[in-house]
Chains A and B, each alone.
Chain A
Amino acid sequence: MSGPHAHALYVHGHTPVHRLAPEAKLAAQLLFVLAVVATPREAFWAFGVYALLVAVVVGLARLPIAFVAKRLLFEVPFVLFAVLMPFVSRGERVDVLGVSLSVEGLWGAWNVLAKATLGLAASIVVAATTTMPELLRGLERLRMPRALTSTLSFMIRYADVVAEEMRRMKIARDSRAYDPRWLWQARAVAAAAGALFIRSYERGERVYLAMLSRGYAGSMPRLEEAATPAVVWAAALAVPAAAAAVAATAWVVGR
């Protein structure tokens, strides 16, 4: 790891958003995204309000605009499928600059692009203000089963170690001037993956034995138990509550 509790997407800060209890932040993220997804796509104004809500939180968290904008450009390949929609969908068609497009497809593409972008924006804010240990604590307090959170804690702790191990193997291969480009050269990649698995598994065995020798008896101790105050929950859930109100309004009046 690059620091005691930093990950690549984290932006260091001491803002109210950074200090917010992680379980409240995660619940807010999920509820916000669900409200966005449940919004009728014809309610353009609602998506404007959502973008504004996210912008306010970005401001409160003092995240650099350039950082957020750059991360937003990170497009998912799935979006390609959305871009194709207007061309292949059935139903009524309109001419845009001489190209015949499906109205239903245009709506579909807008729907996916708007909602996926807002989901991405929410995840950028959460990732930029939450450390990995906080994520774990949040999930644990959201009553995720202990077996899952403790497995996840090992995954997070060792993800960088394993990824670095893989990078070293790639450097070793590159420095021997072998650069596989074709599927029939995949053996070199797979041999590395096999070696990586064995090294990861054996590391897991060593970690387990080290834990046993330090008195591990099947579960990790909980370090803090203080409950999150209702005020904190209220502050975090204000954002998804506003989003839910917008979604409900859009269904009743809007369009």
Chain B
Amino acid sequence: MSKDPYRAIDAWITGVIDETPAIKTFVVKPEIPLKFRTGQFIQFTLYGEGEAPFTPSSSHFEAEKFEVTIMRAGRVTEKIHKLKQGDVIGIRGPLGNGYPLEEFEGKEILILGGGVGMAPLRSLLLTLLAEKEKYKKISLLYGSKTPDDIVYKSQFDNWRKKGAEIFQSVDKCETGEWKGKIGVVTCLFEDIKPNAEKGVAIVCGPPIMMKFGTLKLLELGYSPDRIYLSMEKNMSCGIGKCGHCALGKYFVCKDGPVFKYSEIKDIEGIWD
């Protein structure tokens, strides 16, 4: 019998990192190294309980172990959050198409992220930084609801040291502890003026943030085929058969999850 695309391979949880009250990062060691490309996703299987799709948040140059950052948002993620070091899970993947890094080479890269949408972007950032000589400039603009909601808090300085230019904002801060910019992530463009002509932009975050982030990038002069979006849809089979993640004529799992804005801009409800 040929390969069963629905069968998961075993993997072990080798570490759990609390990012925020609702977000954890799991370090996963699959029985066979997961050779993914940054931006591709996996199905995270709780045997007998359910499956949910996530994009690894670690560099694609590490296949032995990878990380996946998960927000508690529903039935399956509620259970995933109870996992401890040593627990066995299943992994299906890698699935879909990742970020087309070859299209980014030699360009100024602007990464626009919001909330837990930072997960796939962290994978991208780490992958880019590992070969930073290939890219002209790497900038990250990251917005969170409050300072407590920032994921990967302790890592930003390290990324700066490795060569990324980073700007951060929070929507609000009632305690006064936040010394940086306050406002939705697009407010960061008040201070920085990216070179849209020479750049590409990659966006991931909650739907409302992706919508206004994309509109802002268009206003700044990015052409629709230079804006890359990681689309979140209800991927079930992950291989283009079950129909759940239909986005217009595309299946996000097979044709995405990374799309150029130009490919999907005319589809109704892309931000819903």
Binding partners A and B:
no
Which A residues contact B (CB, under 8 angstroms)? none
